[in-house]
Every structure is written in C-alpha cells, then in structure tokens.
Amino acid sequence: MKIVKLDSSVYNKISAGEVVERPASVVKELTENAIDAGATVIEIFVKNGGLDEIKVLDNGCGIEKEDIKTAFLPHATSKIRTAEDLTTISTLGFRGEALPSIASVSMVEIRTKTDLDEMGNTLKLRGGEVSEEGIAAMNRGTEMRVSNLFFNTPARLKFLKTPAGELAEIKSTVIKLIFANPTLSITLSDDKGVIYHSEGTGLGEAIRSIFSEDVWQNLLPLDFTKNGITVTGFASRSTYFKMNRTYQIAIVNGRVCDNKHVTTAISTVYQQYLMKRNYPVTVLKIDLDPSEIDVNVHPTKAEVRFSDGDRVFSAVYHAIKDAVEKDLTERRFQFDTISDEAETPIAPVSEPISISSVQTAEPAPKFAFDPFIGSSQEDFHEDTPILTGMRENLQKVREATAKSEIVQSELSETKEMYRVIGQVFGTYLLLEYRDKFIIVDQHAAVERLRYDRLTAEFDKGVAVQPLLIPLIVTVSPDEYPIVEGKLEALSRIGVEMVPFGEDQFKLLAIPEILKEIDLDALVKNILSDAAEKEDRIIRDRLAYAACRSSIKGNTYLTDEEIAELMTAYFKDGIPMQCPHGRPAYFVYTKKDLEKLFKRIV
C-alpha cells in the first residue's frame, strides 16, 4: 500500500482526539491559556453541559492582532522557543496544540485586546478555517467562544455522556483549576446561574467555597520542606474518609496532575488508619525546581514524571504523616484532660458557657441483642416505631424458642461443649472449648454470620422493595460519572436509581434483602470507585450492611447475651473470617500454652 502524507484537515482532527476528549477538555485548555496570559479574573460559562457552547473570558494580556491567526496554527506557541526550554517549563501550556485542535472540531470565535490596541480584534473559525474577521469594543483581555463541539466529527458525539454527565466533568475540571490557582478569581456558570465562585484569597477559602463545611472541619494544614521540595495544602484527619479517590488532588508547580509516587505516599500514611476502599481527602501543592520534572508526557499534560520520585514520595509522606500524628497527639491530650479533670466536655473558648446548656448525660438505653438484628449502641439511641416493632418481634421469637423442647435440648447440648471465660476490652470473647483456648473478635464473627445469612437470602432471588419516599442523593462532579456508569448494573440487582438534576440522583427502590440497611451506607458504597460487576455489587453492599449492623468494639455484653451469641456460633460453626478478610478468631491448644510458658520444650 502506497504511503501518503495526510491532509492537514485529517491530522488536525487526529490531534484533536488526543487533546479535546470532551467539553471539559476545552474548558481546561482555554482556562490554562488565560492563566498563562496573566489573568487575575476568569469567567467560564457553559451551555447544555458544554455541548452547545463554552465561553471563557479573562483580563489577561490579550493577543496582538498579527498573532491571532498564528495562534490557531499547529504547534504555534509563545511559551517556548527551543528544545532546551522544555527542561524549565513554568507555564501550563507549551505544545501549541490546544487552539488548533479545538478549532478543527468546532466553531470558534475569539475577541481579544492588548494594552496597545485601541480596539479589540475578532476572528471566527469553522472547522479550523477562518470565516470572518473584524474589530470590537472591549476591555483588555480575551474572550473565547466555542460552539457546536464535534459538529464535523459525529462519531465522537456517540462517546459523550449526557449533558448532566458532561457538566459534572466540567465542574470537576474547574474545581481542580480553582485549587491550583487559589489567588485568582475564577467563576463557573451555566444558563441557570453561578455554580462555583472563588474570590482568589487563598487555598483555604477556595476549598471552603467548593467542599462542604464537614470536609473543611476535618482537614489539617500542611507545611513541609525537605530536600528542595515544599509540600503545602491540606489533608484529612485519620478518622475522616470518602468512598473514592475523587477528593484527592495533587498540584505540582501549579499544574493538576497524577503521579504514582504521590498517590502511594498518601496511601502509605493512611493505611494504618483507614479500612480498605476508604480514602482520605487531600489537596496537595507540591513545588520543586522545574528542571526536576517532566510534564511533556502526554498531550493533555495530565501526568508528570519526577527525576527523583523517591524524594517526592518522602516529602509528601512526611508532610502528611507529621500533620496526622500531631493531630492525633493533640486530640489524645484533650481526651485525657476531659477524662481526668471533668465529667462533661469543655465548651470551646470562643463560645460563652451557659449554665442552662450544661445537661446531665443520661445512660445509653439497653439494647436488645441478637446475632442477626442491628445491635450496636449507636443504632438504638432513640425509640422509633421501626425499632419498637423490631424489639417486639424479637421478643416473640425468643418466647417461641423458649417453649420449644427441641431447641432447648440443642441449646443445653451446645452449652456443655464450651465455657465462657470472659470478655476483654469489650471486644474479644475468651472461651474454653474442649482442649482448646479460643479468642473471638465478636464484631468480625457476628459480621460474617450476618453476611452469610444475607447472601443466602439474596441467592434465592432478587425481590425489589420500592421506597415510600425516594431518596435524593447529591454527588460531587467527580462522583457523578461513577454513579451514572453503575445505573444499569445496579438495576439488574434491584437498585433502581435515576438521574435527577445536574448533580443529583433519585433512589427509587432497593432489593428487599437490604430493606433494613441504612440507606446512607448503601449510597456511600454506590459512590465507591471500585469496579462493579453483576452481583458483586450487591454482595459488597451486603458485606457493608453486615459490618455496620454488627456489634461494635468496646461493647460490653451481659452473660445472657454472650450465651446467646455463643449458641449461634457453635450451631453453625465460628466463621474463619469476616467478609473483608479479617480473622474472626484464633485457637490455641493446651500444648500451645504450655510451650508459651515453657512447661514443655
């Protein structure tokens, strides 16, 4: 086959496929151009999720009249001149691909004015070809208007999401741009009004303008320098987490990007505090010599490489570790002080203490215990018709069991097989069983028993339970595509969820087997970024439901409750592990103990 040189209209579209993946890509590239132009105020407007129109207005330096057409030529840039310049890049753009790529697959209008121009200049392009030139009255800066994206490449349109889904991608992109440029005023709007607005007064203000107050209150400030690398920003407390990584943002020399050394450092710090598939919130600003990073890895510049990744890992690791450990120490000190010196918590200094506000704490109500009914103290803080009904039904079951001679015979036979030595730390049960000494993690064992029972019910078939009042779930921009991508799979296992507005979904029905689950717990798992496949979705949810309803640590049981739990254990056998893989018990023989105490060698 003969080799030919591709026409510019063809290779421009190929290049556009690498740079302009969706409307959010256009927003990113145009906003970064505005930042490089020295803008202090940037306004972004999108219509129909950016599919119909994207407009970016800035007060930057503008483009000189003779350079406007040149800016839309492939590889035309004002950022670098020689290959050596790539080693010291300090701007966000430098490849000269964004404007020609955008113009080749859309209709573009640019209005721009420099300080030296008396009037602004305009240029219109359609599919990369100039269609109109002119002048306009305007202030210094640049206005870029992109409409009918992918009008000449309809195949690309098939791969785009719904307008709501594309808007979510844009919102996610703008959030990162705001965090990376906290001293700039950046506003995102659509035809319904302002979505995000950052005043440009610092990273803390930027975070508070985007994230909820709950997130902000659980963030720790970072300020660490080591080996020429400075790490600032914020990271969450050891006890605060999200169900996916969308709240982890890394900014290297002002550029939002991904790097495995950074993500690994974050995971390493928190692995001792958070369970699997729980992720901390981090907004990290990492600054180092530009010559030590390579940003020319991909056309989108979303990935960077470090000349010494281990140094970056060390700096990020110690920055977060020091902040987390300091927070733990301070909170431990406060806790010890309260325990040793006062019966009631100390009110914040900023708030006056009112005698009427000091209330005597009432003892927590005693909870009904059963291996398969929610039994943690936090689940029974107040009576509700549901809980009252659960207790009444449980009492009826126990009364019926007490009348059964067969069951009583089984219980008596079972109790003869073991002896309860006691409970340690409100968490571990100590048993003597024939010639064995057993330590049982009561939470893990009950969790597994409940999980096995729930999955057995699920295997019988999926029955759907409509919700009397649909639950409205509000998601972040990064979480929207996660949920949207799961809707079909969720439907197959009885979770009916539909889009409801730009950043919301409506939960209409759930599998009947999950009717007792805390819906917030179910939603958190749906927001998880773990890969979902068929009934794995529901089994993960069942595992989470079993965990949440299991006996919590530091829960002291009565002899009667322990006996009831042991009956369930020994009837079906103590499970080896909880659904998450943690051991439920350890067994030691008499010989093991004698070796431990050196009675035998």
Phi-psi region of 48 (alpha: psi -120 to 50; beta: other; left: phi over 0): left
Question: Is the Cβ–Cβ distance between 242 and 326 less than 8 Å?
Answer: no
Whole-angstrom distance, CA of residue 123 vs CA of residue 92? 24
State residue 218's pLDDT score.
Answer: 94
Tell me how many degrees the CA angle 132-136-139 measures, rounded to the nearest 5. Answer: 135
Identify the helix (H) or strand (E) that includes residue 337.
helix 309-341
Cβ within 8 Å of residue 482, ≥6 positions away:
244, 246, 475, 527, 528, 529
Single out the residue of 284, 307, 283, 285 nearest to residue 295, CA to CA: 307
**Which residues of the chain have a pLDDT value below 50?**
14, 16-17, 80-83, 85-87, 93-94, 333-391, 394, 397-398, 400-401, 403-412, 414, 531-534
State residue 495's pLDDT score.
Answer: 81
Give just the sign of the alpha carbon dihedral 19, 25, 30, 33: negative
97 phi and psi angles, rounded to 5 deg: -110, -25
Tokens of 380: 């029974």
Find tokens 């970056």 and name the residue.
Answer: 312
Would you give the DSSP letter of residue 347?
Answer: P
Whole-angstrom distance, CA of residue 311 vs CA of residue 448? 43
Task: Set out the domains of the chain in order of their start, with CATH numbers.
Answer: 8-204 (3.30.565.10), 211-327 (3.30.230.10), 377-587 (3.30.1540.20)
pLDDT digits (tens, 9 = 90+) for 336-384: 333 333 333 333 333 333 323 333 333 333 333 343 333 333 333 344 4
Find tokens 């939960």 and name the residue.
Answer: 507
Give just the sign of the alpha carbon dihedral 183, 258, 91, 106: negative
Whole-angstrom distance, CA of residue 111 vs CA of residue 124? 9
One-letter amino acid of 306: F
Whole-angstrom distance, CA of residue 219 vs CA of residue 214? 9
One-letter amino acid of 348: P
pLDDT digits (tens, 9 = 90+) for 435-466: 788 888 888 877 877 777 777 766 676 678 88
Would you give the DSSP letter of residue 555?
Answer: -
- What is the helix, strand, coil percentage profile of the chain, to 5? 40, 25, 35
- pTM value? 0.61
Reported in sequence order, the residue ranges of 174-247 that DSSP labels E, i.e. its strands, are: 185-190, 193-198, 219-226, 229-236
CA atoms within 13 A on the CB side of 89: 24
Quick one: 259 exposed, middle or buried, by C-beta within 10 A (0-12, 13-18, 19+)?
A: buried
